[in-house]
Structure 1
């Protein structure tokens, strides 16, 4: 169920029986010469909508701009400062709690959002407003991603390329896949991004000239479909698990 398609009486009927909402979040940022800036929020919305369709739970509109200053050197990248993002997401989530939602899954497709979504979830849980957790699609199927790609790349690599080939093939610049591979960083190990235990870079441009990593020519729509199906199944299981929990069991434990 997509919240924006419903009327308020219909939503009232939903909230009489259910209290879960899926919130898709992504980014609008560079993904190399071959993928659109919309890559992350396209993926997040696709997962959230599909899981909502399969389970009947509520899906909210997508938050399209996230914490992306580490991609700012590339044209078109948009971002908000981390405190602004956290405040917005928390306010948005309290909004849902006001209407009767007491558990939220942040369906996330941008690595830069992860720590901030977890912080928001902790804050809301500590106040016993509701229980909110972050879910990242590729983290739900790590073995499959590793099996499908020799160099999957953490950003703009074959796993994201394959996902967009499956979800929105018309947006993939297929004639730029080799450029993406050859002008980027094929292996993160080659970047030597840590020295003596310290992470030594802040921006994507510190490591890659065109903003992406991995071998994009290893991507296919078929691989994208396989990942989409497997990760959606994981998200559906998460929804079902969350629905089965007693709310008080999800809240902070008492002091020992």
Structure 2
């Protein structure tokens, strides 16, 4: 069920029976010379819609601009400050809770969002407003990703390329896959990202001239379909698990006894 396509009485019927919402989040940022800036939110929205179509849960419109300042040197990248992003996500999550939603899954396809989404989830759980968790699609199927691609790469690599080939193949510049590989960093270990135990870079441009990593020529629509099916299946399992838990079991544990000052 896609929230923006429903009427308010239809959504009233939904929250009378269900309390789960899925929020897709991505970014609008460079993904090399071969992929659109929409890559992350296209993946997030496609996975969220697939899983909610299969389960009947509620899917919200996507968040398309997020924490992407580390890609700012490349044309077209848009971003908001981390604190703005956290406050925005927390605000609309509380809106959902006001309408009766108490379990939220942030379907995330951009690594820069992850820590901030977890912080929002922590805030919402702390005051027992809702149980909100971040889900990153590739982290749900790491063994499959490693099995398929020899040189995956953390950004703009073959896994994202394959996924977009499956979701929106017309947006992939297939004639630029070799240029993406040759102008970037094939093996992230070659990027000299750490010195003496310290992460010594901040921006994507510090390591990759064209902003991407991995061997994009390994991507195909067929591997994208395999990744999509596996990841959406994992998301379905997560949604069904969260829905089955008593709300009290998802909330913080009580303070251990005795509490400070309780015996005075």
TM range (shorter): over 0.9
Distance 1:77 1:104 in 2: 28
Partner of 1:77: 77
Deviations 1:33-79 (A, max 9, x none): 00000000000000000001000000000000010000000000000
Structure 1 residues without counterparts, runs of 5 or longer: none
Q: CA RMSD in A?
A: 0.4
Partner of 1:153: 153
Partner of 2:259: none
Deviations 1:74-105 (A, max 9, x none): 00000000000000000010000000000000
Partner of 1:168: 168
Distance 1:108 1:172 in 2: 21
1:138 is aligned to 2:138: yes
Within 5 Å, give how 1:65-104 maps onto structure 2. 65-104=65-104
Partner of 1:59: 59
Distance 1:108 1:192 in 2: 27
Structure 2 residues without counterparts, runs of 5 or longer: 257-264
Distance 1:40 1:240 in 2: 24
Task: After TM superposition, give the deviation of residue 197 of structure 1 in Å.
Answer: 1.1
Aligned residues: 256
Distance 1:118 1:215 in 2: 30
Distance 2:198 2:247 in 1: 40
Which structure: larger Rg? Answer: 2
Partner of 1:235: 235
TM-score (norm 1): 1.00
Distance 2:56 2:107 in 1: 16
Task: After TM superposition, give the deviation of residue 248 of structure 1 in Å.
Answer: 0.5
Task: After TM superposition, give the deviation of residue 196 of structure 1 in Å.
Answer: 1.3
Task: After TM superposition, give the deviation of residue 195 of structure 1 in Å.
Answer: 1.2
Partner of 1:196: 196
Partner of 2:181: 181
Distance 2:243 2:45 in 1: 21
SS class of match (2:101) = coil
Distance 2:96 2:54 in 1: 21
Distance 2:6 2:92 in 1: 18
Task: After TM superposition, give the deviation of residue 192 of structure 1 in Å.
Answer: 1.4
TM-score (norm 2): 0.97
SS class of match (2:135) = strand
Q: Which runs of 4+ in 1 moved over 3 A?
A: none
Partner of 1:121: 121
Partner of 2:24: 24
Deviations 1:146-205 (A, max 9, x none): 000000110000000000000000000000000000000001000110111110000000
Distance 1:243 1:8 in 2: 22
